[in-house]
Structure 1
């Protein structure tokens, strides 16, 4: 969705936070620079391409046609890595080079060499030992370096304040040939505070780009929640296939260790994309909407170890938006003969089939997202305008685990279909008897399906909202080993089009709601929310089971960057907790917890117990 997203509105007062913002769970390593000499190098990628052959004199012009020529068949995409281990996904999906072909430096004075370590996306803690490497070329602006960059390059950005940049489809980029944009110096010293030249809506704009790493930037907007700065960029980072124009998806992108904050709309936004990693970032204080927003049929993401704080609407939103997705498909010349948009399932399904035949599965924005891993994130202080701290629409066959959501103002984890027009006849009024649900074909097409949600902790006190919601068309949801507590309303809410194959067990909850559905519909569930659950647990009762419960912010903004708040809550179970320790489903326990600690037993919630 390229315009404002729909959010479920709830007017609430936001707590006073002053200079407190969210931040990532790991810190960036500072790198030193060598002596300062500008070094010449080879020309940019564009200049190395062979010149086009000259036209022969008198060659006839092609005859005009009434319809545009059929575009060439797309290249088959790599199959998605299907795993519950995000490290395995990263190592198999994003194959970074061990050494750089060239080093391009942005800023002055330019050094003759720099010290840099190879990036290991699965490393935790200290980075590998830095090596001294020669600088190939130096540039005054990020855009000049981006234009010159080619696959295998490092673009090292010296401390300073810069305008943003855009990157398009670089044929030289690929596996083991990523273009790596890296902020040098101490965290926060490389600031981007202006839009890129190509589109004033974005600071960093990856348009149909692929095999790109963005690391360590301070993407500084000028808005505040509820107050937008006129003319400012809409987002810090935009990843966009621009499918209607290009027939492509943006893919194989990593945004790591960056601080994207105070933007008009979003810290991060993506459409028409697949195979993207968001890791160790802070997305905070978006003025109108979400910290990060993945949209328009995007697939195959890992979102891990980020913090989403103080955003006006959602913290992290994956709204795959069928309406905007299919509108984008219809812009492509391949579909000019397809009937105009109609608010029916038959119209949407027909277009999806035609596009699949032409571009392959996951080769176009289809309004659905698959194969996400969303884990080890903290979401705090979001939702003054509504939505969900973790807001999911059209997300299926994905894993949501080890996330901590507390102190938010609307839903916790929300699953629904974005109220799209193609599903309306299947949602209103919805089934009233189990015989009406013969299978998936009788349910909405674009809800959240078959997601595994395990070992999350969601603590809230919001009326009319739920800690976990299975809304329109969100069926087949599996809940294991979670803590879902809402003192003011339902901990778990399941609607009539979400009860099919609903499967819950071993959760801690307060109240459960089935949205007033006829009792007979509950027979469609594999197991109800009360199954092997601890019920009636309030926030006060839960607080007695953990080290230190509170709504204090997770991090503090300091000196242009952030640090962990020493007064943040500690939701690790006490060693004496009979409610949380050893009460989980041992078949569904992640290997590690929110903080990366190895789990020793089948405990409940996002965190392992405190050490003695």
Structure 2
């Protein structure tokens, strides 16, 4: 095999030639497999629009020089015109990474045959580590959309995995530790949306440890065509999964179970997991929103919304051999409950288990304004607003907006009235008359396309002064206080008789502003101050 001596960028196009150089769009190779046969560490392969057979890769990159196959460089969505719709020449998968570590596959539209007899997986990776599967659209595969086996430190993010004919949307299997599964959209699959199984029968310790499962939207799974077998499973299915963090996920209209922690083929129970800030709303005819079975102990369930449209099922089903170390509280729930197969009311559940002392019963209409159309953002008056415990914090919600908002954390996947950007005070102000320190704060969201407001309060009424704004944070002595920002813009003004002032500002839509920090401070002429000036603390403005 020819291996690149230096990192190269190669191009592939259906109109190309595998006899070409591959180093420009005009000299593109014809097949992805030719690229897979030639790439080495640090190389990038860019697939240009067209239809392709997949590829089989057994070459690894390195931590400093991964191999990248991309159809949409730098984007977080698949390229709709770069389509892999035929298997690679070696296995019944569209794309297969066999023992290939430190590889990135991103931006492809992968279409399966819809038949497990002719197509197994959309994107498969086995016997590897540090593989990233990002921003792919994977639809109608025969068995699985994405499959990993014995892969440590895999990252599966920003994909759409739908309508797998025989099994699951995403399957993380075979004792692969530290998987990250985030921001995926998983829908319409025959059985599980996301299945994680330690698979002790296939070797290894049979345990998947330290998974992070967050900000996924998973819906309409578990109602597949029975010609491929009876559908089953869960939206998030965990067999032998331990010490996982499952947070900020939205699961709705799934037809079997919601989140399941259990052991069938795992090397141990699904122990020590944290299930936090999820919104789970089961379809009519479904099973429970949360299932804990088979001696799975030490699990924490907090700050969730667990609802069910089925009249005979409800929020939580648990076995008594799972109660050791079980901590469940601060949830919005719906009857019924189940302990060892016996149905319980909420009062009976609390008495029998000692759990959910601060939880409450709720109906969808109390919490959400448009849940029937798949929108599970909270109403302003929802009892879930500010109802979460801060003992189990998370910094973001499903949208990526910052928690907490409005003074407290909200239950479920979405934080009401949250922002992508934020305001944060820093440093110390300088007191003026009567010991009053002017206060500078922000309201609204400093998000692109939004309008926010800077507000001064607690100042000397009628005092002249200025708001200064800069891109750098300083700490320079100034008239007995501290100048906390580089001064690039100044806005002179006079405080109202009540000692207040405000100014609104719009944040333009400009991707270059994402993550930019600005720093503001206000100061005023004040004869009662030690050196004639009072200063506010600094205000950091995080734009997003």
TM-score computed with the length of structure 2 as normaliser = 0.68
Please state whether the residue corresponding to 1:576 is helix, strand or coil.
coil
1:506 matched to 2:330? The reply is: yes
Contact 2:240 2:265 in 1 (8 A): no
Contact 2:71 2:106 in 1 (8 A): yes
Contact 1:496 1:517 in 2 (8 A): no
* Per-residue CA distance 1:296-355 (angstroms, 9 max, x = gap): 1111111000011000101011011211x22xxxxxxxxxxxxxxxxxxxxxxxxxxxxx
Equivalent residue, structure 1, for 2:144:
266
Shift of 1:136: 11
Shift of 1:531: 2.4
Contact 2:106 2:133 in 1 (8 A): yes
Equivalent residue, structure 2, for 1:404:
250
Among 176, 187, 190, which residue is 2:64 paired with? 176
Among 98, 105, 113, which residue is 2:11 paired with? 105
Q: After the TM superposition, which segments of 4 or more aligned residues of structure 1 sit over 3 Å from their partners?
A: 108-111, 133-138, 461-464, 516-519, 525-529
Shift of 1:208: 0.9
1:485 matched to 2:331? The reply is: no
Instruction: Map residues 385-396 of structure 1 onto 2, 5 A cutoff.
Output: 385-396=231-242
Please state whether the residue corresponding to 1:298 is helix, strand or coil.
coil
Please state whether the residue corresponding to 1:145 is helix, strand or coil.
helix
In the aligned structure 2, how far is the partner of 1:418 from the partner of 1:188?
39
Please state whether the residue corresponding to 2:94 is helix, strand or coil.
strand
In the aligned structure 2, how far is the partner of 1:516 from the partner of 1:320?
26
In the aligned structure 2, how far is the partner of 1:543 from the partner of 1:182?
43
Relative to its length, the structure with more strand (as a share) is 2
1:317 matched to 2:199? The reply is: no
Equivalent residue, structure 2, for 1:468:
290
Equivalent residue, structure 2, for 1:495:
319
Shift of 1:419: 5.5
Shift of 1:473: 2.2
Equivalent residue, structure 2, for 1:607:
414
Contact 1:495 1:517 in 2 (8 A): no
Aligned residue pairs: how many?
Answer: 393
Shift of 1:545: 2.2
* Per-residue CA distance 1:436-467 (angstroms, 9 max, x = gap): xxxxxxxxx51100001100000114457210
In the aligned structure 2, how far is the partner of 1:235 from the partner of 1:610?
40
Please state whether the residue corresponding to 1:300 is helix, strand or coil.
coil
Larger Rg: 2
Equivalent residue, structure 2, for 1:372:
211
Instruction: Map residues 405-484 of structure 1 onto 2, 5 A cutoff.
Output: 405-418=251-264, 446-463=268-285, 465-484=287-306
In the aligned structure 2, how far is the partner of 1:528 from the partner of 1:461?
28
Bigger relative contact order (CA 8 A; separation at least 6):
1
Among 360, 364, 370, which residue is 1:534 paired with? 360
Among 214, 225, 240, which residue is 2:126 paired with? 240
Please state whether the residue corresponding to 2:36 is helix, strand or coil.
helix
Contact 2:331 2:359 in 1 (8 A): yes
Contact 2:297 2:322 in 1 (8 A): yes
* Per-residue CA distance 1:86-120 (angstroms, 9 max, x = gap): xxxxxxxxxxxxxx921111115569xxxxxxxxx
Relative to its length, the structure with more helix (as a share) is 1
Among 78, 81, 86, which residue is 1:189 paired with? 81
In the aligned structure 1, how far is the partner of 2:354 from the partner of 2:330?
11
1:217 matched to 2:104? The reply is: no
In the aligned structure 2, how far is the partner of 1:273 from the partner of 1:580?
38
Shift of 1:285: 0.3
Contact 2:141 2:165 in 1 (8 A): yes
Among 324, 327, 340, which residue is 1:515 paired with? 340
Q: Cα gap change, 1:495/1:464 in structure 2, threshold over 3 Å: closer, same or farther?
A: farther
Contact 1:502 1:526 in 2 (8 A): no
Shift of 1:138: 3.5
Please state whether the residue corresponding to 1:152 is helix, strand or coil.
coil
Please state whether the residue corresponding to 2:321 is helix, strand or coil.
coil
Equivalent residue, structure 2, for 1:289:
167
Instruction: Map residues 149-160 of structure 1 onto 2, 5 A cutoff.
Output: 149-160=39-50
Shift of 1:587: 1.8
Equivalent residue, structure 1, for 2:431:
none
Shift of 1:486: 1.8
In the aligned structure 1, how far is the partner of 2:289 from the partner of 2:375?
19
Please state whether the residue corresponding to 1:147 is helix, strand or coil.
helix
* Per-residue CA distance 1:97-155 (angstroms, 9 max, x = gap): xxx921111115569xxxxxxxxxxxxxxxxxxxxx96797421101101110010110
* Per-residue CA distance 1:147-200 (angstroms, 9 max, x = gap): 110010110111111111111143xx211200010114982111111111121x
Please state whether the residue corresponding to 1:272 is helix, strand or coil.
strand
1:549 matched to 2:375? The reply is: no
Instruction: Map residues 46-125 of structure 1 onto 2, 5 A cutoff.
Output: 101-107=7-13
In the aligned structure 1, how far is the partner of 2:322 from the partner of 2:342?
11
